[in-house]
Each structure stands twice: as C-alpha cells, then as structure tokens.
Amino acid sequence: MKIKRVLVSLFLAMGICSFLFSNMLAAKQEDSFEVLLDQAPIQESYEQFPQVHIQVDSSTQVEDLRILLVCGEEESLLEGQWKTNEEDSWSWDTMIAKEGSFMRLQIWRADTMLYESEAFSIHLPTPKVQFSVDGQPLREEMQVYDHAIELQVHFPTQMNIEKTNFYHQNEKVELLWNENKDQARISLSKQGMYRLQYELESSQGVTAKGEMSTTLLLDFDKPQVQVFANGKALHTADRFDQEVVLRFEVMEQNLDVENSKIMINDQPISVQWTKEKDKYVSEIAWQDGTYKLSYTIVDLAKHQAAAIIMIFYWIRKSQRYN
C-alpha cells in the first residue's frame, strides 16, 4: 500500500515537473523572439508602412511558425521567409502595408501563441499643400498683385508627381518641380482672379482633393474713367442751362469702392457704384451753380486715375419752373 502511494506521488511530481518545464520552455521560446518595426522597438503609432524584422535563436524550429497581424477581430497572415544570418540565428522580414488602430503582431505554433506585441497603429498622413509668394505665406484674405508672380507650392509629404495636378478654371496648369520633388512653382502671368484647385497623391498612395483658401488677383492696368453729362462726354468748362445727370463709367473689374472718391468743390460726396459687365457706374443729379468736380478712382491693385473738371452750371429760374 505504501509502495502504491509512493508511485502515485512520484507520478504526480513528474507531471508537475513536466508542466513546469513546458512552461519554462515556452517562456524561453517567447523571450527569444526579437520583434522590431523599422529597425527599432515597437512604437505606439506610425505614419508610414513599417518594415517588420523578427529574429530568433538558431535552435528554434521556425518551419511551422505563423506570423499574424491582428487588427481588432480581423487577423491576416503575413508572408515572409526565414533566413539564417551571420549571428547564427533566424531572421524574418516583411512590410505591413495596411492602416489600422490597435494592431498587434502575434507568433503562433499550431494552437499555441508564442509571442504577442504591444498595440500600435498605422495611419498614413493625408497629403497637404502650402502656398507662398516671394517667400511669404499666403494669408486667408484675397492677395492682390500688380505684376506677374510665381506661386511657390510646398508639400510636407513626399508626393507622386505623376498624379499631383493643379487646375485653373478646369484647365491644367504647369508645375515646375525642384530637384527634391518637395516643392514646385506655378507661373501666373495673365490678369484675372485665381483660386486653384488641386488633386494630390502622396508617394504612399494617399489622395486628397481641394482648393486654395486664398484668392489671388493679378491686375496690371489702372482704371479708365469716363464722365458723361446727359449722355455726352463731359469736358472742362462745360456750361448747361438745364438740369444734368452725371454718369461715371469706370472700365475696371476690380474697383476699390471704399477708397475711390468723387468730390465737389473739394468735398467728398457719397455715391453708389453698380457693377455692369466689365465696368462700374455711378450717377449723380446736379443742382444749379458753379462746380469743381474731381475724382480719384482706385482699383484693388492700388492703381489710380484722377482728374479735375471745372463745370459752369447755370439754370435760369424761369426755365427751371416752366
């Protein structure tokens, strides 16, 4: 009876030892895996597809190992080949070409997980663009130039230049790239307003579409002003014996209404400007008297047109009330 109890105790002890040895072996196998992303310990986040490098001691049997990428409940088998290296160990390399959050790497043999990494995420940055002229970043409000300009285009991320395009009024504009392919120039030499649209693609294949937040205005000419009195051109020292309506016509697409002034006898008067196709117009009804008319018309590019007109304007009362 005692012998039987001894044998039972011996078998139990052997089982416990076997269990402990198996666990120690599994722990040893787990500890032997060195897993790196981009040749460094795994970080919390990546903005590019990282390169996976796994190294394990040469005594480890690698033929039946499976390398899994786990993202949430989704699992995918990573493809790669084990190779021997000079350090008398096995190494395995591949790239993770997938975006996601809370991702983990796992190493399995049959139904046993031998290794699991800390969680990490991969999110490729959306390509962006920045603009400047003469080294000065563009502001949000409209920028006005009285000369041709070169618009500098800056890309914080590496771009696929074959699939990065800019458009003005649905027409493709030419991009002149620098040697590093991280900046380009757009020459703007024609008068008009520009608010370019763009289609971007980074070297990692991420795309984006958008439009400049700033409007550019190129205006090279000063305003052309014509003044009419009752439908006829007004001249210095004109005299009238009937009531007159003056009409100002400014051939200008970009009139600076706030800074354009019309003055009578050196006193500014309030006028209303109306846009008609390619010009601005304003009308003034006159009373009888003698007047000095002057104006200073300004466009958004600060070009000015100014003149002084002496008008002798007289109405006989008998005619005025007949």
Which pLDDT tens digit goes with each residue over 126-173? 999 999 999 999 988 899 999 999 999 999 988 999 999 999 999 999
Q: What is the pLDDT of residues 67-89, one digit of tens each?
A: 999 998 899 999 999 998 877 89
Q: What is the pLDDT of residue 56?
A: 93
Q: What is the pLDDT of residue 3?
A: 54
38: left (phi over 0), alpha (psi -120 to 50) or beta: left
CA 11 to chain centre: 72
In a domain, 184, yes or no: yes
Lookup result for tokens 């990494």: 117
In a shared domain, residues 271 and 313? yes
Beta bridge mates, 310: 292
Tally of structural domains, the chain? 3
In a domain, 23, yes or no: no
Q: What is the pLDDT of residue 47?
A: 92
In a domain, 76, yes or no: yes
Owning domain of residue 36: 32-122
Q: What is the pLDDT of residue 19?
A: 45
Contact 245, 281 (CB under 8 A): no
Q: What is the pLDDT of residue 314?
A: 65
In a shared domain, residues 310 and 228? yes
In a domain, 25, yes or no: no
User: Which pTM value belongs to this model?
Assistant: 0.68
In a shared domain, residues 57 and 138? no
Cα 203 to Cα 39, 95, 127, distances in angstroms: 21, 16, 9
Q: What is the pLDDT of residue 114?
A: 95
Q: What is the per-residue DSSP string for 36-50?
A: EETTBPPPSEESS-P
**CATH code of the domain containing 313:** 2.60.40.10
The total number of residues written for the chain in this structure = 322
Strands (E), 78-196: 82-84, 89-95, 100-109, 112-116, 120-122, 130-133, 136-137, 143-145, 149-154, 165-168, 171-173, 176-177, 183-188, 192-194
Final residue of a domain: which of 180, 197, 218? 218
Final residue of a domain: which of 122, 140, 170? 122
In a shared domain, residues 137 and 160? yes
What is the C-alpha to C-alpha distance for residues 234 and 308, in angstroms, rounded to an integer? 11
In a shared domain, residues 113 and 149? no
In a shared domain, residues 233 and 313? yes
Low-confidence ranges of the chain (pLDDT < 50): 6-8, 10-11, 13, 16-17, 19-31, 318-322
Q: What is the pLDDT of residue 5?
A: 55
In a shared domain, residues 214 and 243? no
In a domain, 290, yes or no: yes
In a shared domain, residues 214 and 300? no
Final residue of a domain: which of 122, 139, 156? 122
Residue 71 CB neighbour total at 10 angstroms: 18
What is the C-alpha to C-alpha distance for residues 85 and 88, in angstroms, rounded to an integer? 6
Q: What is the pLDDT of residue 171?
A: 93
CA 99 to chain centre: 21
In a shared domain, residues 183 and 205? yes
